[in-house]
Structure 1
Amino acid sequence: MASSFVSRGFSLTKTSPLFLCRRSSSLSGLSPVRHTSSLDPISRSVLFGSVSGRPRTPLLCRGFSKGVAGDDEGFWNNAQNLLQENKIEDAVQELQRGLEEHKHSLLLISRLADIHMATGQYDKVVEVCDQALELGIGERDGFLALQGEAYDRLKNFDKAREKYEEVLQRNPNNALIAQRLAFLLLHATDWTEYPKYHKHKPVVAAFDRCLELARDDPENHYGRGLAFYHGEEFEQAIENFKEATDLDPKYAPAWQKMSLAHIVRKEFEQSIYAADRFFDTFKDYYSKLSVDLTFGIDAVLFGLMLKRALCYLMLKDYRMVIGSMESLLEAGKDIPTKVKTEALLLQSQAHFEEGGFWECVKFSSDCIKLDKESYSAYKLRSEAYEALGRTSSAEEDRTMCLRLAGRRIMPEEEEEQKE
């Protein structure tokens, strides 16, 4: 019997994207979703400092000395109370009033920059950092680094790189900024353009430098693996992902990418193993980043479930395909339609391979109800009808396939089909 995804503790009742806080590359490349009126868990942790486990990339307000400017701490406390009441705009105004009286207050200007970062107002982060740099508040490198992160989020990669490199010119051994720069290069590279050969080399070199500075950081091995993955050197990518999981067996993103890389190499059993490790670890991994998993589930989770079932299909373990897809479809009513259709197709294919042609017809038909232009469903159903001797029904589905493929049935083809 297939293992139930529900029994693994997955929450599949909602499908809002997970807020991926550390890097948009950590799982699926999705950009984080940020809200200004009702903050997601990660933004709240930035504001209130409640991150546990492996922390989010530290921002400026961590490590400041409270009370350095006397009365400015009153404004800071007022702003903090407003944040607790989710009055974000009021908190910003309170900090701005405080800065009118204490324009050199690191306490206030750091907090203001943090709020803008947490609420996704990256252009305002840049402005606040410019103000701090102009007035000579705090450590210059700290505000330059924060500007770099803001420009990165704005996808202004050239400016972000400029800020990070300025920091590294003064402190070449700053492991955190070296890592940010390496991930920046990873994000800024257009991996969709061909040829991909050699495009990953500069990114690999950047992560090599990160490893010189911090070899025990799994993110450096993971990032290097991503560079090789995008450069289609999957064997090397797998090696780097394994090094990341050796350092941290619960490093879920590396397990996920490792599984996908094994699929490309047609190493289906290894892919299943890595996928299972991801399913076992992702909940704990993101809970350490203060992600509330009841808030939603990232599309990557559904995608890996489908890929895992495909691996079982390739290994001819049809019962596992059928059982795992049943678990997925029964787990929640809000599963995206595309995921449902792919799950139904996998079940249909598994039944066909087992000789269950009527079951194949049923699941293909269910898929067509959801997507009336599913070429794969019509094609699979036509083959099942043919195996059942339902030639007229098979012919109708083949005709539909031709229409969906943008072809017309020519007289010669009609004669060939009759024969």
Structure 2
Amino acid sequence: MHDIRAIRDNPTQFDAALGRLGVSGMSSQILTIDEERRTQIARAEEARAEQNRASKEVGAAKARGDEAEFERLRALVAEKKAAVQELTETAKELDQKLNDLLMAIPNLPLDDVPDGADEDENVEIRRWGAPRNFDFDPKEHFELSGVRPGMDFETAAKLSGSRFVVLRGAVLRIHRALGQFMLDTHVSEHGLTETWTPVLVKEEAMYGTGQLPKFGEDSYKTTNGWWLIPTSEVTLTNTVSGEIVDEAQLPIRMTALSQCFRSEAGSAGKDTSGMLRQHQFEKVEMVSITHPDKSLEEHERMTGCAEAILQKLGLPYRVIVLCTGDMGFGARKTHDLEVWLPGQDTYREISSVSVCGDFQARRMNARYKPADGGKPGYVHTLNGSGLAVGRCLIAVLENGQQADGSVELPEALHPYLGGKTRLTAEGELA
């Protein structure tokens, strides 16, 4: 959420930043509501003061026997009391209107974020690894003979419909190994604290990280008002909601492997084959809570943490910075990691790492207490995939595929697979 004082102080700058996102003329609407709200509050305070003065004079009029003045003052007290209630109620309604409006406005991009209309104008920063030269036509993951016994879309469709999968046997064990490998790396090498959180959250948690109110259709809501998390960013970030942490505690770095649930609204007909776009999937998430002065440095560090996973697995990838037209609602800047998928002959997103500034912290009222004892300030929040487990499974299977339908597995996974090094063409580990 945005700081109303910053908008008051520099509405032109606010509008210019939003204009880069294709949103125009918001400051005028915001400040009109804000001014009316402040006017109602001032009038309520004035009426309350008049009520208090009249209340003090009522007793004096009664004591000296001035019945007419007593009745006038008593009527005035009642009149001002009613006015205070009405003005306060109006101010409250305007405050809610202002809050709802601010909640629906996206975060402002950093100055160095490239302008652009959509994903076609994202900017590549660097690449790592060279795509493998195959002496045969590489297949997509679900076409490999060694994968088919362990990746069952038909049974999943019978159980739940499209965009679900049932994993079994060796393929499932590779999937599980990937998640454990990611967690172990982030904890032992990157200094993140492993955390386990619920996958059902209250509505305010979804508001806190920006999934609501604007993107409710992208998530699932239960009949009793809980929401299934689209990512554990929601729970990890909200662990500090309503809190004032000591500056010495920062940065707080967390990671979690969780089930995630997304409705994939608006993606009809897109990526319908295989495991690339699912309603239910696993992801290792990274979240950092930092001092405002350290968030940009932390953004680069987190990007490096995600890159390290791909490098250890030997998977070629590229890093891009999203342009203004492709950036998420709560981000000020986002790095996407795109892994090479030979079956599709293209790079596909496997991680997004975003710095959000104080945008989420204001929504959650998450602050820190300065070491010098000054006034509490809002923390900065960051989140990133480290990585999406299902998409990483796809990349491992496709990049390691052999002509006979078997798969050579990355060395980093061998200890997690009991020393097994490959998925056979029959779907067994060997």
| TM-score, with length taken from structure 1 | 0.23
- From the two aligned structures, give the one with the greater helix fraction: 1
Larger-gyration structure (1/2): 2
More strand by share: 2
Report the TM-score when normalising by structure 2.
0.22
Higher relative contact order (CA 8 A, sep 6+): 2
